[in-house]
Structure 1
Amino acid sequence: MTQQEEPPESGAAVDLAALGRQLRALRRRQGLTVQALSAEAGVSFGLISQLERGLGNPSFSALHRLAATLRVPLATLLSGEQDAAVVRRGEGAQLPIGVDEPPEQRVVRELLTPRSSALLQLIRSTLPAGFTNEHRPYRHLGTECVTVERGRLLVVHGESRTELGPGDSMTYGCSTPHWWANADDDETVVLGAVTPFEP
């Protein structure tokens, strides 16, 4: 990788200072040294060091490899570090609802973190009475913490079965198959925070 490659987009303005701050923050959050990130991404140590200082002339290919290694969308890397992002009440993105599902399986999910966030997602799920996804348990990389706002939630994680009531929380690794069921006669509302990291 040389520093003479074509920039990300011809004529596009990239805020190198913001990119550098974001790159450094993402790298440190994942506990990577510049050398380790260089080895994993296949991007030169010198270019990464320059970028973190707000310098350099990165190619699209180099930025794409860095974003992929840091497990974030390229847009997140290019957006620059943000101190705060506000999602107002009722303005969170609505995640798709399975319209072909029976009514008791139609969970309303509102994303309470920005769409661009790949390191943390907070989702409010409203589970109708009778909901269960026992027939389609989840299994993916990451760690999840759920808190019941209203109602009762059954969480089955591997062989463990735990019923949670209002104010109760549970944290678990997502690589173990897990599923939820609404254990209440009415709607159950759950806040779930998910990160792509797992101990």
Structure 2
Amino acid sequence: MHRCHKRSTCGLTLRSRTDTKRLGLYAGYLLMTKNQNESTSSTGSLQLGARVRQLRRVKGLTVDSLARATGVDKAHLSRIENNVKTPSIAMLAQLAQELGTTMGHLLGETLDESEIRITRAADLEAADDKNDAHRFLPLLHGGSVGSFEAFLFYPGKDANEVEGRHAGQEMLFIVSGSVELIFRTQSFQLQKGDCVQFPGYLAHRLRRVGRAQAVALLVLSNE
């Protein structure tokens, strides 16, 4: 008897809530297309098979070449494109990978605006270029999204008295000015356009170099 693991579905491992959402979308698609053979839905939007065919042609692939790349039988792939057959979720994942898209797109997933967060410039606190203390301006709603946090960082002229150390990774991109990154045994001077990444467990300090205001994009990962 064939059984799927509780965190996998017919060959596709569910690694996140997004994967679970895709599975729900796939189940909904199966229900919607159970008795349909048309190449377009009642609203005129492309069905799965038509999307596969369209993306295959855009990438300059033949049915035969896509079938070989995904390990899908050529005749079966042709039936999928004509909406005669519905691919398994594992097969759908392979098709999405080869076509350079997502399962959600192939299934007709629409944009969920609640998952998009925008911080407008007008909502950000104006920077005081006369202030010599370190300042951090959160860029994300609630301070963090998922496993990372992002800030506009205005380093002061003096290095921190207390060394920074944290879990995860740190990335610093210099937007303007010059910044010195100081580790216990070595220091680096970073200029506009420079980017540095390092593990957060390394004790470090930062300071502005020169009189001109320096601005950096600081991203902290919790993983």
- What TM-score, normalized to structure 1? 0.50
The reply on whether 1:120 has 2:148 as its aligned counterpart is: yes
| 1:134-186 CA-partner distances (Å, limit 9, x unpaired) | x2111110111101111100012342311100011100111110110111222
Partner of 1:170: 196
Which one has a larger percent helix, Structure 1 or Structure 2? 2
In the alignment, which of 123, 144, 160 is matched to residue 91 of structure 1? 123
- Unmatched segments (≥5 aa) in structure 2: 1-13, 25-111
- Unmatched segments (≥5 aa) in structure 1: 1-20, 29-48, 54-79, 95-102
| 1:22-58 CA-partner distances (Å, limit 9, x unpaired) | 9624xx7xxxxxxxxxxxxxxxxxxxx9xx96xxxxx
Alpha-carbon distance in 2 for matches of 1:91, 1:174: 29
Structure 1 residues 82 and 119: CA distance shift in structure 2, 3 A:
farther
- Supply the AA of the counterpart residue of 2:168: G
Structure 1 residues 81 and 174: CA distance shift in structure 2, 3 A:
farther
Partner of 1:148: 174
Structure 1 residues 121 and 158: CA distance shift in structure 2, 3 A:
same
- Supply the AA of the counterpart residue of 1:146: L
Structure 1 residues 185 and 22: CA distance shift in structure 2, 3 A:
same
Partner of 2:134: 107
Alpha-carbon distance in 2 for matches of 1:92, 1:184: 25
Contact residue 155 and residue 206 of structure 2 kept, 8 A = no
Residue aligned with 2:164, SS: coil
| 1:51-86 CA-partner distances (Å, limit 9, x unpaired) | x96xxxxxxxxxxxxxxxxxxxxxxxxxx9953211
- What TM-score, normalized to structure 2? 0.45
Residue aligned with 2:17, SS: helix
Structure 1 residues 172 and 82: CA distance shift in structure 2, 3 A:
farther
Identity %: 15
Aligned pairs, how many? 117
